[in-house]
């Protein structure tokens, strides 16, 4: 009998990431002797950990952060969170236009998030204030206290702002599609080059199968994620989870497709051309 192969996989507690790994966590698919040791952390923590000496074998990261990981990771062709005419949203306590955002203090979830990169490309002149993405209420608190003039919301938080009486100043996915004609790639899963071609192919196939299984058993997966939800400030509402998964855990998650792959390279190219990414990035996908 061959020894068990252990793959360290790190992803966020957000519903779309949990959805992708649900079948693996619940042992719904045959992993053929590969065991996944799962770790959970928020987006910015995952971005930082992927650069460290104890980086996981597989990790969810921001597409922006991938620009700094190409020496050690390949981008998986599945597991992406892609917005098609929608995405993160900048909100404020009063109605503001996109032009009004220039020069303001805007709370952002991290400087390596894709949302920050896109906002900087759309609104070059603002002062970023890092506001941790967890708990979601932290961004709302920063607005209430006057710490920031506006806040950039990602993940489920971008669906919760109307209940706080806040106003959308800029829908990043909508503005991005108007500018580029492309979908907005936000997050992806990377896999360590050090695993070697054979294991990379095998693990990639298992991760793809996990996503496929969840999509084919969506109602069951949604119910399980809802029952397991423990994050502070996240309503245990099926309609919210359903809407969020429809946005970020769908057929685009199973495969970026040609448009998604092009959109990733285009986003990173624009970041380089604007001087926000210090080097040219060539996106390399795993099998």
Q: 16-47, pLDDT tens digit by residue?
A: 999 999 999 999 999 999 999 999 999 999 99
CA–CA distance, 189 with 209 (Å, rounded to integer): 14
**What is this structure's pTM?**
0.95
Token pair for 232: 């502070």
Specify the pLDDT at position 110: 94
Q: Is the dihedral of CA 12, 220, 34, 80 positive or negative?
A: negative
CA–CA distance, 134 with 223 (Å, rounded to integer): 23
**Do residues 91 and 166 both lie within one domain?**
yes
Give the domain-ending residue among 146, 161, 180. Answer: 180
CA–CA distance, 19 with 17 (Å, rounded to integer): 5
**Do residues 175 and 191 both lie within one domain?**
no
Token look-up 């303001």 returns: 104
Write out the residue range of the structural domain in which residue 139 sits: 83-180
Q: Could you tell me if 10 and 56 are in contact, meaning their C-beta atoms sit under 8 angstroms apart?
A: yes
Query: Is residue 281 assigned to a domain?
Result: no
**Do residues 230 and 208 both lie within one domain?**
yes
Query: Is residue 283 assigned to a domain?
Result: no
What's the structural domain count of the chain?
Answer: 2
Q: Could you tell me if 110 and 133 are in contact, meaning their C-beta atoms sit under 8 angstroms apart?
A: yes
CATH number at residue 241: 3.40.190.10
- Cβ within 8 Å of residue 23, ≥6 positions away: 29, 209, 210, 211, 213, 214, 217, 221
Over the stretch 58-83, which tens digit does the pLDDT of each residue have?
A: 999 999 999 999 999 999 999 999 99
Concatenate the DSSP letters of all residues of 201-255 into one string.
HHHHHHHHHHHHHHHHTHHHHHHHHHHH---TT----HHHHHHHHHHHSSHHHH-
Query: Is residue 170 assigned to a domain?
Result: yes
**Do residues 189 and 216 both lie within one domain?**
yes
**Do residues 155 and 221 both lie within one domain?**
no
Query: Is residue 134 assigned to a domain?
Result: yes
**Do residues 210 and 254 both lie within one domain?**
yes
Please work out, in degrees rounded to the nearest 5, the angle formed at the alpha carbon of residue 131 by the alpha carbons of 126 and 137.
125
Of the candidates 81, 124, 77, 82, the one whose C-alpha atom is nearest the C-alpha of residue 99 is: 124
Give the domain-ending residue among 148, 180, 212. Answer: 180
**Do residues 132 and 249 both lie within one domain?**
no
Going by pLDDT thresholds of 50, 70 and 90, the confidence category of residue 3 is: low
pLDDT(92) > 90:
yes
| 155 labelled catalytic | yes
The arithmetic mean of pLDDT across residues 232-249, rounded, is: 91
Over the stretch 122-152, which tens digit does the pLDDT of each residue have?
A: 999 999 999 988 787 899 999 999 999 999 9
Of the candidates 39, 46, 35, 41, the one whose C-alpha atom is nearest the C-alpha of residue 7 is: 35
Query: Is residue 286 assigned to a domain?
Result: no
**Do residues 68 and 205 both lie within one domain?**
yes
CA–CA distance, 113 with 145 (Å, rounded to integer): 24
**Do residues 234 and 261 both lie within one domain?**
yes
**Do residues 74 and 88 both lie within one domain?**
no
**Do residues 13 and 63 both lie within one domain?**
yes
Going by pLDDT thresholds of 50, 70 and 90, the confidence category of residue 2 is: low
Query: Is residue 284 assigned to a domain?
Result: no
Name the catalytic one among 64, 78, 100, 155.
Answer: 155
Over the stretch 190-233, which tens digit does the pLDDT of each residue have?
A: 999 999 999 999 999 999 999 999 999 999 999 999 999 988 87
- Cβ within 8 Å of residue 198, ≥6 positions away: none
Give the domain-ending residue among 137, 155, 180. Answer: 180
pLDDT(1) > 50:
no
Percent of the chain whose predicted confidence (pLDDT) is above 90: 90
What is the bridge-based pairing of β-strands 167-171 and 34-40?
unpaired
Query: Is residue 279 assigned to a domain?
Result: no
Mean pLDDT (the chain) is 95
**Do residues 192 and 166 both lie within one domain?**
no
Q: Could you give the 3-state DSSP secondary structure of residue 192?
A: strand
Query: Is residue 52 assigned to a domain?
Result: yes
């Amino acid at each position: 009998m061959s020894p068990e192969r252990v793959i360290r996989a790190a992803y966020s507690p957000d519903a779309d990431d949990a959805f992708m790994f649900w079948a693996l966590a619940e042992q719904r698919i045959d992993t053929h002797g590969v065991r996944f040791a799962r770790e959970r952390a928020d987006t910015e923590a995952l971005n930082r950990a992927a650069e460290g000496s104890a980086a996981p074998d597989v990790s969810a990261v921001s597409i922006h952060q991938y620009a700094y990981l190409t020496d050690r990771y390949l981008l998986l062709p599945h597991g992406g969170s892609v917005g098609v005419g929608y995405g993160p949203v900048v909100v404020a306590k009063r109605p503001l236009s996109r032009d009004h955002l220039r020069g303001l203090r805007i709370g952002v979830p991290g400087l390596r998030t894709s949302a920050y990169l896109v906002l900087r490309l759309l609104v070059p002149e603002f002062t970023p204030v890092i506001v941790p993405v967890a708990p979601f209420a932290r961004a709302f608190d920063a607005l209430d206290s006057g710490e920031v003039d506006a806040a950039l919301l990602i993940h489920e938080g971008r669906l919760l702002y109307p209940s706080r009486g806040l106003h959308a100043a800029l829908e990043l996915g909508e503005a991005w599609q108007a500018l580029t004609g492309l979908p907005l790639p936000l997050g992806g899963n990377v896999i360590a080059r050090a695993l070697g071609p054979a294991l990379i192919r095998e693990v990639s196939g298992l991760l793809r199968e996990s996503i496929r299984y969840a999509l084919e058993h969506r109602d069951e997966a949604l119910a399980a994620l809802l029952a397991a939800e423990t994050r502070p400030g996240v309503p245990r509402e099926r309609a919210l989870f359903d809407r969020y998964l429809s946005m970020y855990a769908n057929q685009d998650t199973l495969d970026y497709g040609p448009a998604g792959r092009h959109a990733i390279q285009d986003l990173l190219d624009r970041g380089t051309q604007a001087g926000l990414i210090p080097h040219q990035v060539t996106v390399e996908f795993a099998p």
